[in-house]
Structure 1
Amino acid sequence: MQKLTVVGSVNVDLTAIVDRLPEPGETIGGGRLRRDAGGKGANQAAAAARLGAQVRMVGAVGDDADGQWMRSALTDAGVDTAHVAAVSEATGTALIVVDADGENQIAVCEGANALVDIDGVEFGADETVLAQLEISMELVTRLAETVPGYLALNAAPAQPLPRTVLDRVDLFIVNETEYALMPELRDAPLVAVTYGAKGAALLERGETVASVPAVATTPVNTVGAGDAFCAALTIALREGFSPADALSTACAVGAAAVADPASQPALQALAAYVP
């Protein structure tokens, strides 16, 4: 299975589970509180390891109890955490509200994630690197300039992408809202776009080369589903799956993730999700 390095965020997820999402200025009662390991980077690393890849994480946590907990959660998932630094800032935190349909609202306090660094990290030519935009664009640009092998970017949250990144990244992964907010992705060599219950598509320079339906499931929490999809799609494409099979496999993994209340869901090996 693939060697995968994930460079990205590590957060504590504080999730309030309520019947419906509050309107602006409104307070909703009757919620249940969960406290889970999260962060786009950590979620993707944990998912990839559970799917069977050989994974290491490059990130940062606080020198605090939450930081120790996040490192332990990654280790328990099978992730090498040697490059998860303990820094002076508090461990990143995401404040999440999830309704009865699994839809969510999220506010992220980056904390230690602002100090993620790749100094001293060596990347092999045979190694896949997966990053997200919960780390600084400066760091993403450095990855584009230094990673010798395959580079995938989950371009979320949406923000303008510099030409250096657009020209270098092998695979972009976004949802339909992010794709609409970043028109520069129309010129990218390969972009995966997710459409929620409508499935996903792969586009080469704006032209659809594969499109698959979603896998029917009952959503419990959508927070980690996109991250599981990112991990599965990256691994499947690097394993030589056809575009359609890679998308179908990733959609199946995302469906399994959305049915799990945790942001880092329990997953089987990748082969269990191959159509």
Structure 2
Amino acid sequence: MSANRVVVVGSINMDLVARTPRMPAPGETILGTTFATTPGGKGANQAIAAARAGADVAFVGAVGDDTFALDLRQALVDAEVDAERLREVSGPSGVAVITVDDDGQNSIVVLPGANSRVLDLTDEELRPVADADVLLCQLEIPVETVTAAARHGSAHDTVVMLNPSPARPLPDELIASVDVLVVNETEEQQLGGDTLARVAHVVTTLGADGARYRGPQGDRVQVGSPDVDAVDTTGAGDAFTGALAFAWDRGPRDALTFACAAGALATTRPGASAASPTRAEIEALLSENT
């Protein structure tokens, strides 16, 4: 079977990752243990995750003209993501400042940089959306851009999948164009039942407990997550979402099972996009748990 075609319109950041024994309290200074810079951003993370899971992926977004830009572009290329539509704009690239403690929990501050300037998508940037099986978006770029991309995808019968993170009220026009919402439990609560009810398919991630699905007829599916030794949860949600985009056409249960395995594997490695597993790794873990 040929790979599904996924287009990601979203953010790309350089992650500045500090590991600490525990999270500092407000106003407290503590000593960390390691520091690393790794390519990230929810859009790029999910694009790389989808590509490693087996999809043909194109990315639409922006980097700055700083020293991070070349490494960010190269990270997409190395993952075999089509980066031809990655703009370069003046100013800084996006940056995320991430603290990870010894329990694998994290806190994140995102500075959008060039991501805030992904505006007025061109015909060339929108062209692959019309030909894709799935359009995958998040909310680390302007919501107006996400809405325009989603509207274009919906008009061309592309499945529009939205990970509404960071959570915010969604414009009516965006909700009307979305086929699949992918949320965690906090985002589910923040969006509220009225918004969720207006989207045909809702997938809620449950961390180590797996994920659940609610379909257009009220049909529900819940699957568990394989047991793994987690060291860093930073990239788990993005690995899940990228793998879900690739596997969406398999049906809710199989797609969620595949995505949960991807998310679980991502927690066993440090980093965000670097932690995303390959299709072979995902299938091997699933075989071990059958």
Match status 1:267 vs 2:269:
no
Residue 224 (structure 2) aligns with:
213
Output aligned runs, 1:26-105, within 5 Å. Answer: 26-105=28-107
Answer yes or no: is the 8 Å Cα contact 1:221–1:260 preserved in 2.
yes
Residue 134 (structure 2) aligns with:
128
- TM-score between both structures, scaled by the size of structure 1: 0.94
Q: What does the per-residue CA deviation read over 1:111-136, in whole Å, with 9 as the maximum and x for residues that have no partner? A: 00011142132122443210101111
Could you tell me which runs of 5 or more consecutive residues in structure 2 were left unpaired when the two chains were aligned: none
Could you tell me which runs of 5 or more consecutive residues in structure 1 were left unpaired when the two chains were aligned: none
Alignment equivalent of 1:193, drawn from 204, 207, 213: 204
Residue identity opposite 1:268 in structure 2: T
Answer yes or no: is the 8 Å Cα contact 2:239–2:276 preserved in 1.
no
Deviation beyond 3 Å, 4+ runs, structure 1 = 205-208, 270-275
Partners of 1:237 and 1:220 lie apart in 2 by 28
How far the C-alpha of 1:48 sits from its partner, in A, is 1.0
Answer yes or no: is the 8 Å Cα contact 2:42–2:238 preserved in 1.
yes
Residue 111 (structure 2) aligns with:
109
Partners of 1:207 and 1:175 lie apart in 2 by 19
Alignment equivalent of 1:15, drawn from 17, 25, 31: 17
Report which stretch shifted further, 40-49 or 125-134.
Answer: 125-134
Partners of 1:224 and 1:267 lie apart in 2 by 11
Answer yes or no: is the 8 Å Cα contact 1:15–1:97 preserved in 2.
yes
Partners of 1:250 and 1:262 lie apart in 2 by 18
Task: Report the CA distance shift for 1:274/1:151 in structure 2 as closer, same or farther (over 3 A).
Answer: farther
Residue 143 (structure 1) aligns with:
149
Report which stretch shifted further, 123-132 or 158-167.
Answer: 123-132
Answer yes or no: is the 8 Å Cα contact 1:233–1:250 preserved in 2.
yes
Answer yes or no: is the 8 Å Cα contact 2:6–2:245 preserved in 1.
no
Task: Report the CA distance shift for 1:266/1:251 in structure 2 as closer, same or farther (over 3 A).
Answer: closer
Q: What does the per-residue CA deviation read over 1:232-274, in whole Å, with 9 as the maximum and x for residues that have no partner? A: 1121113xx1311111110000011111102112522264455
Residue 253 (structure 1) aligns with:
262
How far the C-alpha of 1:98 sits from its partner, in A, is 0.5
Residue 222 (structure 1) aligns with:
233
How far the C-alpha of 1:144 sits from its partner, in A, is 2.4
Alignment equivalent of 1:156, drawn from 151, 161, 165: 165
Partners of 1:253 and 1:81 lie apart in 2 by 23
Residue identity opposite 2:277 in structure 1: L
Task: Considering fraction of residues, name the structure with more helix.
Answer: 2
Residue identity opposite 1:131 in structure 2: C
Partners of 2:187 and 2:171 lie apart in 1 by 16
Identical columns (%): 42
Answer yes or no: is the 8 Å Cα contact 1:201–1:208 preserved in 2.
no
Q: RMSD between aligned alpha carbons?
A: 1.6
Residue 175 (structure 1) aligns with:
184
